[in-house]
């Protein structure tokens, strides 16, 4: 988030939670410096991510900072964004693994007819070999049977 975005976010934050502005103006020895530090702290996140944290405080999904946490608002925002990024990354990793597993399963399913055909050819060749061993067919006839089983 750049400085202009921070200023925009800061106004939304102070409008939603006027006590944050009051806290900075009354408790900080250097309110401008405090806001500069907040801007630097939030520079690694996107405006949309910070807005999502603010919205989660407003809609009650996440409890907003308590009075004793007001000095750490920027850190709490950045921490919540980091948590959400990590959560999204874990979801994407799990989804990717699931998708790969489904693709592999689909590939395995496509091989099943081939394996059944090979099994049938092997059984036919084995039966023909037994007939050859018993003298019912010649070696040339066995070779011909094997060729027919595998080339059709």
Q: What is the C-alpha separation between 85 and 79, in angstroms, rounded?
A: 10
pLDDT at 38 over 90: yes
What pLDDT score does 71 carry?
87
Confidence of residue 117 (pLDDT cuts 50, 70, 90): confident
Q: pLDDT at position 149, please? A: 79
Cα(130)–Cα(119) distance, integer angstroms: 17
pLDDT band at 44, cuts 50/70/90? Answer: very high
Query: What distance in Å separates the CA atoms of residue 38 and residue 31, rounded to the nearest whole number?
Result: 10
**Does pTM surpass 0.85?**
no
Q: Are 27 and 71 in contact (CB under 8 A)?
A: yes
Q: How far apart are CA 108 and CA 71, in angstroms?
A: 57
State the pLDDT at residue 115.
63
């Amino acid at each position: 988030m750049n400085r202009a975005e921070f200023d925009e976010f800061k106004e939304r934050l102070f409008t939603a939670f006027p006590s944050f502005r009051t806290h900075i103006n009354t408790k900080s020895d250097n309110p401008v410096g405090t806001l500069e530090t907040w801007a630097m702290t939030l520079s690694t996140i996107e405006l949309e991510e910070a807005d999502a944290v603010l919205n989660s405080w407003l809609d009650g999904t996440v409890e907003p900072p308590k009075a004793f946490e007001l000095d750490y608002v920027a850190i709490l925002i950045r921490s919540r964004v980091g948590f959400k990024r990590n959560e999204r990354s874990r979801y994407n990793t799990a989804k990717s693994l699931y998708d790969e597993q489904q693709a592999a399963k689909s590939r395995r399913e496509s091989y099943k007819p081939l394996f059944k055909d090979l099994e049938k050819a092997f059984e036919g060749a084995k039966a023909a070999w037994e007939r050859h061993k018993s003298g019912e067919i010649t070696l040339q006839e066995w070779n011909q049977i094997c060729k027919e089983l595998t080339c059709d």
